[in-house]
Amino acid sequence: MKNSRLSRNNAGSNKHNLVDYNNACTTFKWESVEKELGWKEGSPVNIAHSCIDRHVEEGRGDRIALICHCESGKKMYTYADMRSLTNRFANALKTSGIKKGERVVLLLPASAEFFISFLGVVKTGAIAVPIHSKYMSDALKVFLQDCEPSLVITTSPLCQRISKIAVPSIRRIIVVDGRDNENEWHRLVETSDDCPATEWMSREDPMLLLYTSGSTGNPKGVVHVHEGALQYYQTGRWVLDLKKTDIYWCTADPGWITGISYGVWAPLLNGVTTMVYGGPFDARSWYRLIEDNRITVWYTTPTYLKMLMSAGSNIAREYRLASLRKILSVGEPLNPIINRWSLSAFNLPIYDSWWMTETGALMIANFSCLPLKPGSMGKPIPGIYAAVIDDQGKELPPLEMGQLAIKAGWPAMMRDIWRDREKYNEYFRLPPWYLTGDLAYKDRDGYFWFQGRIDDVIKCQSERVGPFEIESKLVEHPAVTEAGVIGKPDPLRGEIIKAFIVLEKGYTWSNELKQDIRDFIKTRLAPHLVPEEVQVCSSLPRTKSGKLMRRVLKSWELGLPVHDVTAAE
Ligand code: AMP
């Protein structure tokens, strides 16, 4: 049984969208994708139109675009429904004065309302700013004051978190409440005209601003443009192997780039049916979703896969999961153990893939038409040149470890860091490279192998966590005078957050104080930013200029020798 599925998978390789990887690497040009999207040279575009209206205009309006599983139950929307709803919402926004280039924040859980609002915003030419609904007031304040939105779309419980934040630019807050059809969002959609609402944009016009963490400073707003559509579409075809008949599920929240590029853009540009699920993780519910919706292509993360693995293969066997034909993973290293488990649980391997918020779209992946190397991120997408480089930007030979770099200038590449050109330029300081901050090596067959981060960015449950944001909040607690935060390796979550703190005079360490500090972070920043472990120290290692040495903290934690502390006091 196991082998029959595997051989079917391999035997069917001539049916994959990408059949000859090497040939594509030498012949492929991004311009060839324009025709697929109906884009004409020099003509304006709009990615939301290419996702929705194009399919209706080409006779595919009856296809299901979206299956939504939310608290209120299951709902389905055809491409024609989505055209009408996104037009209505876009027209409502235009009537309320939203103009090209203005920012509209979407503080919403994964839902049909999110999809309709998001695509509607992009149709108006405004810049959509999706923010994960788990962020609390202090974190939201940083985002809102940085991007200065004109409008916020949110739910009534989430609205309370922003009501006290002073952001003079906000003219209106539209509240969505899934359970009540009388709410403002529904009223707007119902009463607005569904005539075409698309504003035609230059390919280089921004359409998305997404916040992500680095190891220094506050989260930065990564800017993406309409041109990215070429790559979202093509990687959806080649890496996800999407066909028009597929029913696809990307488990990422739309507050993370994966939930946008591969939750919204790639499936809709490819005209497939995509499922959105707004509920919590639970192995049985997830398998039931796959079974009931006959999911064929599934894009998820190693953390979720590990959680399913620890729930046991027997649970997987209780469900009919034979509709699945392709499983992919992203966000953190995919341990080969998970791949072995997947073969026994699903009769399918897992295809790892690599990219980041700043790259906008997939850069390196394992492809159905190539031998799969478990543990490797795979090979560059045709059209992308990836390399491992040294500190001077010189390309290193196979098997030597260095920084992973991409030759700059691909369609989905970020075009700016919002209001911080200097930070943007730092990524490109060694031309012709975009510097990823990841360590990797390439093997003799051209496969890339992830080796860690160069900086102090933490990856916890596939989410990027900036130690600086947590440290800054920790020292606002009255009992904390200094704080240093690191990622501690964890078999389930990749890394957990560990904080080292120095107590203010007069405070004594106790479990109650620890809980109070953790609650302080949870209620002000976000639950996923709460340090799992907190350790009290008499002082923190710093350079002579006072800079925190997180790598010394990491060495303490891992019991490694502490080299190069000459600069420390
Ligand atoms: P984000 O921008 O939040 O998606 O995070 C991007 C970072 O996640 C990358 O720079 C890597 O450090 C990590 N990452 C993404 N995909 C992988 C992968 N397949 N293997 C290892 N690390 C990954």
What are the domain boundaries of the chain? 34-62+78-273, 457-567
Kind and range of the H or E run holding 121: helix 112-123
Smallest CA separation from ligand 1 atom 6, residue: 356
SS3 511: helix
Contact 448, 376 (CB under 8 A): yes
pLDDT digits (tens), the chain, 569 positions: 333 333 334 434 448 999 999 999 999 999 999 999 999 999 999 999 999 999 999 999 999 999 999 877 899 999 999 999 999 999 999 999 999 999 999 999 999 999 999 999 999 999 999 999 999 999 999 999 999 999 999 999 999 999 889 999 999 999 998 555 558 999 999 999 999 999 999 999 999 999 999 878 889 999 999 999 999 999 999 999 999 999 999 999 999 999 999 999 999 999 999 999 989 999 999 999 999 999 999 999 999 999 999 999 899 999 999 999 999 999 999 999 999 999 999 999 999 999 999 999 999 999 999 999 999 999 999 999 999 999 999 999 999 999 999 999 999 999 999 999 999 999 999 999 999 999 999 999 999 999 999 999 999 988 899 999 999 999 999 999 999 999 999 988 899 999 999 999 999 999 999 999 999 999 999 999 999 999 999 999 998 888 899 999 999 999 887 765 544 44
Cα of 371 to ligand 1 centre, how many Å? 22
pLDDT at 373: 96
| Cα angle: 52, vertex 53, 58; to 5 degrees | 110
Q: Do domains 34-62+78-273 and 457-567 have the same CATH topology?
A: no
- Category of 506 on φ-ψ map: left (φ > 0), alpha (ψ -120 to 50) or beta: left
pLDDT at 180: 55
Smallest CA separation from ligand 1 atom 7, residue: 356
CATH superfamily entry for domain 34-62+78-273: ANL, N-terminal domain (3.40.50.12780)
Where are the strands (E) in 122-196, listed by range?
A: 127-131, 151-155, 172-176
- Joined together, the tokens standing for residue 442 give 């390439």
The candidate with the shortest Cα–Cα distance to 283, out of 300, 254, 252, 304, is 304
| Cα angle: 550, vertex 209, 179; to 5 degrees | 105
Contact 496, 487 (CB under 8 A): yes
**Ligand 1 atom with the shortest distance to the CA of 352:** 19
- Joined together, the tokens standing for residue 389 give 């480089």
Smallest CA separation from ligand 1 atom 20, residue: 333
For the chain, first and last CA: distance in Å?
63
Kind and range of the H or E run holding 186: helix 184-191
Kind and range of the H or E run holding 465: strand 463-465
Q: How does strand 350-354 pair with strand 364-365?
A: antiparallel
Cα of 273 to ligand 1 centre, how many Å? 26
Query: What percent of the chain is helix, strand and coil (3-state, nearest 5)?
Result: 35, 25, 40
The single residue listed with the structure tokens 């926004």 is 93
pLDDT at 337: 94
| Cα angle: 424, vertex 428, 433; to 5 degrees | 145
Contact 503, 496 (CB under 8 A): no
How far apart are the C-alpha atoms of 397 and 391, rounded to whole Å? 14
Does the C-beta of 333 come closer than 6 Å to ligand 1? yes
Q: What are phi and psi of 267, to 5 degrees?
A: -65, -40
**Ligand 1 atom with the shortest distance to the CA of 258:** 4
CATH 3.30.300.30 applies to domain 457-567: yes
Q: Ligand 1 test: best mutation among 356, 366, 462, 495, most atoms within 8 Å of CB?
A: 356
Cα of 403 to ligand 1 centre, how many Å? 13
Contact 162, 137 (CB under 8 A): yes
Q: What are phi and psi of 343, to 5 degrees?
A: -60, -40
pLDDT at 181: 53
For residue 332, count other CB atoms closer than 10 A to its CB: 22
Question: Would you say the pTM of this structure is higher than 0.85?
Answer: yes
SS3 5: helix
How far apart are the C-alpha atoms of 372 and 13, rounded to whole Å? 13
pLDDT at 363: 98
Does the C-beta of 356 come closer than 6 Å to ligand 1? yes
Q: Which residues contact 284 (CB under 8 A, 6 or more apart)?
A: 315, 318
The candidate with the shortest Cα–Cα distance to 51, out of 120, 128, 105, 3, is 120
The single residue listed with the structure tokens 């324009």 is 34
**Ligand 1 atom with the shortest distance to the CA of 358:** 2
Does the C-beta of 496 come closer than 6 Å to ligand 1? no
SS3 127: strand
- Joined together, the tokens standing for residue 61 give 């309006």
pLDDT at 313: 87
Q: Ligand 1 test: best mutation among 211, 213, 435, 464, most atoms within 8 Å of CB?
A: 464
For residue 102, count other CB atoms closer than 10 A to its CB: 19
Cα of 355 to ligand 1 centre, how many Å? 6
Q: Give the sheet arrangement for strand 350-354, strand by strand.
A: 73-78, 64-70, 273-277, 247-250, 297-300, 326-329, 350-354, 364-365, 379-380
How far apart are the C-alpha atoms of 301 and 403, rounded to whole Å? 23
pLDDT at 559: 87
Contact 79, 56 (CB under 8 A): yes
How far apart are the C-alpha atoms of 364 and 452, rounded to whole Å? 16
Does the C-beta of 466 come closer than 6 Å to ligand 1? no
Does the C-beta of 257 come closer than 6 Å to ligand 1? yes
